[in-house]
Amino acid sequence: MASLFHVVFFCFFLFLLGVAAQREVLLSVLTTKDGSPADGLFVASLQGAGDDGIHMAMHYHDLSFAGFANRSHHWHVFRGDEGILPDASPLPFRNTYCDLIGGLGNLPELPLGRAPTLRTIQALAYYDADTAGEEETAAVRRAVAALSVVLTQSARLKPVMETVARAWEGEAEACVAPEQLPYIEHWDTMSFELVRRRRTGAWDGPFTELLRRSADVRIVEEEALAIAGVPANRSFTQLRVKTGWISPHVYVPYLYLILSVFVFVFDNIRIRPDPEKKI
């Protein structure tokens, strides 16, 4: 079963195989010795310019960040994830766009591409929660938000993947488009319905009407199929709490697709497995 779970979820990066080389950035995917996730996490290690190395602890179930380690290998954990990385220094903010950049609506202001990614790596590499001032903390907030687009949202959503690809090809102005924001906001409910559709063949689950009538998105079956990348591994109950949707007949189908990084290679970010590294 373990091999079943270790499918490629960063397949979108195969789209970037033709991108021009810039060898300063190296990404490695690291798990426990037996290849299983450490407490539901995997670690993505990025090496920037010089010794600007960082490690991002990411949740298997939705690819979100739990925390990061700086160049001294000191772990920092986001507020709300302290139980997952108990020995890490707590950060003074959550891993939400509201805490990071003042809201999802500000995401299009973040530049994407090779050079901005190197700067985000540097910001995290030199961060120390015990000594950082307001300026350093603000830079880290923006860096986490930018990396979430490059690593997380690109895997989740095809349109964002295409935007990141354009940025990597040198389009200085490439950034998340405002029309992509509703997809980011509703990705988890879309995921639930898409996985349910694969099982049942029908687009008639509990969240389809919510998606259809949502004033800012109006996602229908064809659109969801066209834009979704990696689906979430959230339960019905988790989504019901998040959306406020309540049903008198609660059936809790867990999503069966647990995804982990297997291959992530393109010219300026290469992947290498390191079975000895674990959180």
Q: Can you tell me the mean pLDDT for 115-125?
A: 92
Residue type, 93: F
Q: Which two tokens stand for residue 105?
A: 């609506």
Q: Reading across the β-sheet that carries 41-47, which strands appear in turn?
A: 89-90, 75-77, 65-69, 53-59, 41-47, 25-30, 269-270
Contact 259, 191 (CB under 8 A): no
pLDDT at position 214: 65
Handedness of CA 59, 179, 99, 113 (dihedral sign): positive
Q: Pick 220 or 49 by higher pLDDT.
A: 49
Write the secondary structure of the chain as one string of H (helix), E (strand) and C (coil).
Answer: CHHHHCCECCHHHHHHCCCCCCCCEEEEEECCCCCCCECCEEEEEEECCCCCEEEEEEECCCCCEEEEECCCCCEEECCCCCCCCCCCEECCCCCCHHHHHCCHHHHHHCCCCHHHHHHHHHHHHCCCCCCCCHHHHHHHHHHHHHHHHHHHHHHHEHHHHHHHHHHHCCCCCCCCCHHHHHHHHCHHHHHHHHHHHHHHCCCCCCCHHHHHHCCCCCCCHHHHHHHECCCCCCCHHHHHHHHCCCCCCCCCCCCCCCCECCCCCECCEECCCCCCCCC
pTM of the model: 0.70
Dist. CA 7–CA 120, nearest whole Å: 28
Q: Pick 13 or 76 by higher pLDDT.
A: 76
Contact 85, 252 (CB under 8 A): no
pLDDT at position 231: 58
Q: Which CATH superfamily is domain 2-173+260-270 in?
A: Ricin (A subunit), domain 1 (3.40.420.10)
Q: Pick 88 or 21 by higher pLDDT.
A: 88
Question: pLDDT tens-digit profile of 129-179?
Answer: 888 889 999 999 999 999 999 999 988 888 888 888 888 877 566 899 998
Question: pLDDT tens-digit profile of 25-80?
Answer: 444 444 444 444 456 888 888 988 888 889 999 988 888 999 999 999 999 999 99
Domain ranges for the chain, please list them: 2-173+260-270, 186-243
Q: Does pLDDT of 83 surpass 90?
A: no
pLDDT at position 75: 93
Question: pLDDT tens-digit profile of 237-278?
Answer: 444 434 343 332 222 222 222 223 223 323 344 333 344 444
Counted residue by residue, the chain has a size of 279
pLDDT at position 232: 55
pLDDT at position 94: 96
